[in-house]
Amino acid sequence: MWRFLILSLGLAGLSFCAAATVTVKPGDTLYGIAKRQGVTLNTLLANNRGLNPQLALKVGQVLQVPSRAPARPVATGSAGGATVRAAGIRVTAVVPVQGRLTSSYSAAHPGLDLAAPIGTPVLAARGGRVTESRFDGRTGWGWTIVVDHGDGMTSRYSHNSANLVWAGQFVKTGEVIARVGSTGNSTGPHLDFRVMVGGRVINPMSLY
């Protein structure tokens, strides 16, 4: 009883949010639910042990979601100025290439192959910091870019004809980061697009 009261009030200055539940409806995706609830995919997975991001959600499935804390003012540095930021991270994603889906997500191919002419712009699906921008000949990825989105999610863009950003650079959602190519172990011009959350590969289609 006392332990419950202490946790409710906050222990050592920490605040705790009660969990809420969300029932999966037709058309729902992990990303869509996380976005609506104002949390990250990583947080959603952490609150639902055993949830497999590689499998489609089932209608009627109940997910545990941490309640959103009220927005708090954050000083901007100007006298009397403040800005309100939501406690949860809301994210949007864009399709990295406008092309034809030639290989969908599967256990054998944990990503998407999007075919498009050589030189077609490749966009950052989400903003973040570029952690890799190199030619990967050892594994057959060819010219590859990896972006860390800062919330447990990373995205990989491979077989590029040219990388237009470098490691350490910060990019915005929808920014052109590469050009479609057929470098490395590739049978034709396309982008191999992969997404990981918390070190686990997920279906990139769950972002849209």
What pLDDT, on a 0 to 100 scale, did the predictor assign at position 177? 97
Q: What are the pLDDT digits (tens) for 15-32?
A: 334 568 888 888 777 777
**Which residue reads 């686990």 in tokens?**
200
pLDDT reported for residue 19: 65
Q: Residues of CATH 2.70.70.10 domain(s) within the chain? A: 100-207
Return the closest-CA partner of residue 128 out of 180, 76, 193, 174. 174
Which segments in the chain show pLDDT lower than 50? 1-17, 69-90
**Intervals of CATH 3.10.350.10 along the chain:** 2-85
pLDDT of residue 90: 43
Predicted pLDDT of residue 143: 96
Strands (E), 55-127: 62-66, 72-75, 82-85, 100-103, 112-115, 121-123
Give pTM, 2 decimals.
Answer: 0.62
- Do the beta carbons of residue 38 and residue 68 sit within 8 Å? yes
CATH architecture, domain 2-85: Roll (3.10)
Q: Does domain 100-207 have CATH number 3.30.70.600?
A: no
Residue 185: predicted pLDDT: 92
Q: What integer pLDDT is reported at residue 142 of this predicted model? A: 95
